[in-house]
């Protein structure tokens, strides 16, 4: 079971404003501040962290790396995708059925990190 995930940022203040709004839509709240960032908690599931890289080097997005956020239903998938884009995120795949009961949408945040918001069934 995953305990937490983190993504890197070049500008922590801008990233936190983005994620405060976006993750708030899923009930996410700031639960633990660290020296380099912030962890968000949810009623269920792992923590989600936004941080400046610990080693002090430049943040980058790995090729093939992605974090998926579970939504309660298809409407919320669409809402979150639209919210991410309205906050400055970049579309990586509009909401839609991807097969096998998986309904998802993809976007990149302000730093280029790739995320998916999805629901099953």
Which domains can be identified in the chain, with CATH numbers?
4-52+66-120 (3.10.180.10)
pLDDT attached to residue 117: 97
Nearest to 116 by CA among 76, 69, 47: 69
For residue 96, pLDDT over 80 is answered with yes
As a whole number, mean pLDDT of residues 95-109 equals: 97
Q: What average pLDDT does the structure give for the chain?
A: 96
Give residue-wise pLDDT tens across range 51-78: 999 999 999 998 899 999 999 999 999 9
| pLDDT at res. 79 | 98
| 54 φ/ψ angles, rounded to the nearest 5 degrees | -60, -35
pLDDT digits (tens, 9 = 90+) for 19-53: 999 999 999 999 999 999 999 999 988 999 999 99
């Amino acid at each position: 079971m995953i305990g937490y995930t983190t993504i890197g940022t070049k500008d922590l203040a801008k990233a936190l404003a983005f994620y405060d709004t976006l993750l708030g839509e899923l009930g996410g709240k700031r639960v633990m501040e660290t020296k380099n960032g912030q962890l968000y908690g949810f009623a269920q599931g792992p923590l989600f962290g936004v941080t400046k890289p610990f080693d002090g080097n430049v943040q980058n997005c790995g090729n093939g790396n992605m974090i998926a956020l579970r939504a309660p239903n298809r409407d919320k998938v669409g809402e979150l995708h639209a919210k991410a884009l309205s906050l400055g995120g970049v579309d990586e795949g509009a909401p839609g059925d991807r097969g096998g009961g998986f309904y998802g949408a993809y976007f990149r945040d302000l730093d280029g990190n790739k995320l998916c918001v999805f629901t099953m069934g």
